[in-house]
Amino acid sequence: MITWNNLDTIPAYQELLKTASVNLAEAMAGEKGAERVRKYSVPMAAGLTYNYAAKQVDDQVLKALEKLAEETQLAGKFEALYNGEVINTGEKRRVLHHMTRGQLGGAVEADGVDKRSFYVEQQEKIAELANKVHNGEITNAAGEKFTTVVQIGIGGSDLGPRAMYLALENWAKVNHTFKMEAKFISNVDPDDAAAVLNSIDVEHSLFVLVSKSGTTLETLTNESFVKDALKNAGLEASRHMIAVTSETSPLAKSDDYLAAFFMDDYIGGRFSSTSGVGGAVLSLAFGPEVFARFLNGAAEEDRLAKNKDMFANPAMLDALIGVYERNVLGYQNTAVLPYSQALSRFPAHLQQLDMESNGKSVNRFGQPVSYSTGPVIFGEPGTNGQHSFYQLLHQGTDIIPLQFVGFRNGQMGQDVVIQNSTSQQKLCANVAAQIVAFACGKEDEDRNKNFQGGRPSSIIIGDQLTPEALGALLSHFENKVMYQGFVWNINSFDQEGVQLGKVLAKKVLAHDTDGALKAYSDLLNI
């Protein structure tokens, strides 16, 4: 039987608090460090590996974390989730994003519909439309092919799909699967929409409007912006727009769109990259086959996340180490550092995924918790980050855990040898050097040049950023966030914190304000 209890009531957590602190600089020095790198490593899907040698853990800490996983019933709670139990207590909903890429357990029926069949059906419809666009069966009014796809959405309808597109754009070009350039309009700032529209040929552009409710203010505002641009160009908007929405939304059966593809309330925005939200734009950009490979990578990693053995479940292990860092060691932040320019927007996606999911101060039952929950997430691709904020990471007063991501090979197959090494080798050398520098530090009589070390990190390593590897990477972090929410006994699948600002914004626009809200409205000339 599944039970839901606060972290500070769990006996294993009390034991974890008593574990001795690990001297990371000492543990990672010399041959001991080499042995840790070999030992503290877990295979992931799609040829990836999760290595946690440079984390502040030892066998004693890991044993306590293993016990914590058992007492908090992590494997059982995941099983309950993918078998369709109502895990999202705030909104009284199932949580089914895993089912967009595979069925991990039994069939799940909701609203009289088999959900796996429903998601597959939507993917097949998207694939059919994408193929018709690519082969010229669906064209503009002049009978010419569309060359650009533009996604209109905000939050999870933008951050995830945009990050995934950028991650695979160059790979697709090199592997001859690049079909259409993708652009994204998300910000209600008119300069965002104007800049995108000024950069494309609207006559040959297909727009994907993403709104589950069909009432999202920012998205509908940008839709109107786009429709005006189409009208001014003498084009019929309905021949240039498709919708990704719910079946009950006002967009679902509108004549304003070429087609509508459906999602449901069981997939949150930040978990929607493998649904139609990401499926439409990625299938149009790269072809349905590439999107299917992306889904396969995510599905393979999901299957690993089912494993009850923490040491064979990289997402669970990563999650528990993160809990240890947050609640025992007291680290408040985590930096995500991908050494791949293709992952330039991946940290931004993880910001939403983690902070919107686990930025909660009440438990699943609405009761305040007395311990810390989700960390602040930030990041930037290396090596740019090294010349930006790594100074604070190395020598600042706060210790910030680091999550590196690196690949042995680039995507483009183009490189140059300078001073006996390639650019890719230099990139990988920087990853290795940073991990050891953070962990071990360097003593110097000049205190300004002294590096204390003891700065923990992990790394996910792969051969190349392929669609499968990207899917596995996405799944890993989605499941990590889920497991941490389980440990903290919070609901990772609602986001009430984003609603208040929206409500007040509507009051401002209606001029229904007083006090400070009116004063700020006046300052902004609203």
Q: Note the pLDDT tens digit of each residue in 367-377.
A: 999 999 999 99
**380 assigned to active site:** no
Instruction: Please give the pLDDT value at position 213.
Output: 86
Using CA atoms, how far apart are residues 228 and 31, in angstroms rounded to an integer? 66
Is the C-alpha dihedral spanning 257, 259, 265, 266 positive or negative?
negative
Token pair in block for residue 354: 């983690």
Does residue 120 contact residue 240 with C-beta atoms inside 8 Å?
no
Give residue-wise pLDDT tens across range 286-307: 999 999 999 999 999 999 999 9
Lowest mean pLDDT among 62-66, 89-93, 115-119, 480-484: 89-93
Using CA atoms, how far apart are residues 399 and 11, in angstroms rounded to an integer? 27
Token pair in block for residue 87: 């895990």
Instruction: Please give the pLDDT value at position 369.
Output: 98
* pTM of the predicted model as reported, rounded to 2 decimal places: 0.97
Catalytic residue selected from 223, 356, 380, 478: 356
Using CA atoms, how far apart are residues 328 and 324, in angstroms rounded to an integer? 5
Average pLDDT value for residue range 7-34: 97
Instruction: Please give the pLDDT value at position 78.
Output: 98
Residue 156 has pLDDT above 90, yes or no: yes
Catalytic residue selected from 387, 442, 449, 506: 387
Average pLDDT value for residue range 190-219: 93
Using CA atoms, how far apart are residues 349 and 166, in angstroms rounded to an integer? 12
Instruction: Please give the pLDDT value at position 504.
Output: 87
Average pLDDT value for residue range 34-58: 98
Using CA atoms, how far apart are residues 402 and 338, in angstroms rounded to an integer? 10
339, β-bridge pairs: 406
Helix locations, 287-385, DSSP H = 288-305, 314-327, 346-358
Q: For residue 85, what are the contacts with CB-CB under 8 A and spacing of at least 6? A: 94
**496 assigned to active site:** no
Lowest mean pLDDT among 368-372, 382-386, 400-404: 382-386
Q: Which residue has tokens 């972290």?
A: 7
Give residue-wise pLDDT tens across range 246-280: 999 988 888 999 999 999 999 999 999 999 999 99
Using CA atoms, how far apart are residues 234 and 222, in angstroms rounded to an integer? 19
Token pair in block for residue 43: 């295979």
From the list 253, 242, 250, 249, the residue with the least C-alpha distance to 263 is 249
Catalytic residue selected from 132, 173, 449, 502: 502
The residues of the chain that CATH labels 3.40.50.10490 are 23-66+331-469, 121-293
Tell me the CATH number for domain 23-66+331-469: 3.40.50.10490
Residue 116 has pLDDT above 90, yes or no: yes
Q: One-letter amino acid identity for 234? A: G
Higher per-residue pLDDT: 503 or 515:
515
pLDDT band at 499 (very low <50, low <70, confident <90, very high): confident
Instruction: Please give the pLDDT value at position 148.
Output: 98
Mean pLDDT, the chain, whole residue set: 96
Q: One-letter amino acid identity for 207? A: F
Give residue-wise pLDDT tens across range 187-200: 899 999 999 999 99
Instruction: Please give the pLDDT value at position 479.
Output: 98
pLDDT band at 526 (very low <50, low <70, confident <90, very high): very high
pLDDT band at 14 (very low <50, low <70, confident <90, very high): very high
Contacts 24+ apart (CB under 8 A), 452-456: 452/25, 452/395, 453/24, 453/25, 454/23, 454/24, 454/25, 454/56, 454/399, 455/24, 455/393, 455/394, 455/399, 455/400, 455/401, 455/402, 456/24, 456/54, 456/55, 456/56, 456/325, 456/399, 456/401, 456/402
Q: Which residue has tokens 């293993």?
A: 66
CATH class of 121-293: alpha beta
Instruction: Please give the pLDDT value at position 219.
Output: 87
Is the C-alpha dihedral spanning 481, 487, 488, 492 positive or negative?
positive
Using CA atoms, how far apart are residues 450 and 467, in angstroms rounded to an integer? 42
Contacts 24+ apart (CB under 8 A), 76-81: 76/2, 77/2, 77/486, 78/305, 78/306, 78/479, 78/482, 78/483, 78/486, 79/105, 79/306, 80/2, 81/482
**15 assigned to active site:** no
Helix axis angle for 115-134 and 276-286, nearest 10°, is 30
Using CA atoms, how far apart are residues 344 and 165, in angstroms rounded to an integer? 11
Instruction: Please give the pLDDT value at position 314.
Output: 98
